[in-house]
Structure 1
Amino acid sequence: MRFKKLDLNLLVALDALLTEKNVTRAGERVFLSQSTMSNALSRLRQYFDDELLVQVGGRMELTPRAELLHEAVRDVLVRIDTTVAARPAFDPTASDREFTLFVSDYSMEVLVPGMLALAHQRGCQVRFNLKPQVSQPYRHLERGEADLLIIPENFCSPDHPLDQLFEDRFVCVVWRESPLAKGELTRARYVQARHVSMCPPDGSLPVFDTWLANDHGVTREIALTTYSFSVMPYLVIGTDLIATVHWRLADRLRELLPIETRPVPLPMKNLHQAMQWHKYRTRDPGLIWLRALLREAAAGMGPGLADSSATRGQ
Structure 2
Amino acid sequence: MPDSPLLSRLDLNLLISLDALLTERSVTRAAERLHLSQPALSASLARLRTHFNDPILARRGNAYELTPLAARLTEHTSTALDAARRVFESQATWDPQKSTREFSIYGSDYAFATLGRVVSRLASERAPGVRLRFMLHNPTIVEDAANRLRSADALLIPHGFLADLPYTDLWQDRWVGIRRADDEGDVSMADLAAHPWVLTWHAREAFTSASRQLQQLGIEIRIEAVVESFLAIGTFIEDTPRYGIVHESLATTIERASEVRRFRLPFEATPPLNAMWWHPIHERDPEHAWLRGLFVEAAATMPRR
Same fold (TM over 0.5): yes
Listed as ranges, the matches of 1:138-287 within 5 Å are 138=145, 141-142=149-150, 144=151, 146-156=152-162, 161-175=166-180, 177-178=182-183, 181-183=184-186, 185-198=187-200, 207-208=207-208, 211=212, 219-233=220-234, 236-250=237-251, 259-263=261-265, 265=267, 269-287=270-288
SS of the counterpart of 2:105? strand
38-47 or 133-142, larger mean C-alpha shift: 133-142
Deviations 1:182-201 (A, max 9, x none): 23x3333202102233369x
Deviation at 1:166, TM superposition (A): 2.5
* TM-score between the two structures when normalised by the length of structure 1: 0.71
CA distance 1:195–1:24, change in 2 (3 Å): farther
Deviation at 1:106, TM superposition (A): 0.8
1:48 aligns with 52
1:295 aligns with 2:282: no
List runs of 5+ in structure 1 lacking aligned partners: 305-314
1:308 aligns with none
* TM-score between the two structures when normalised by the length of structure 2: 0.73
Deviations 1:157-215 (A, max 9, x none): 85x5433322334221234531xx423x3333202102233369xx9997359947975
Query: Given that residues 234 and 260 in structure 2 are in contact (C-alpha distance below 8 angstroms), is that contact kept between their aligned partners in structure 1?
Result: no
Amino acid of the residue matched to residue 94 of structure 1? K
List runs of 5+ in structure 2 lacking aligned partners: none
CA distance 1:125–1:7, change in 2 (3 Å): closer
Query: Given that residues 88 and 285 in structure 1 are in contact (C-alpha distance below 8 angstroms), is that contact kept between their aligned partners in structure 2?
Result: no
- Identity of counterpart residues, as a percentage? 31
Deviations 1:199-232 (A, max 9, x none): 69xx999735994797567553344554531243
CA distance 1:29–1:123, change in 2 (3 Å): closer
1:309 aligns with none
Q: How much is the aligned-residue C-alpha RMSD, in angstroms?
A: 4.2
1:130 aligns with 134
CA distance 1:273–1:38, change in 2 (3 Å): farther
CA distance 1:254–1:5, change in 2 (3 Å): closer
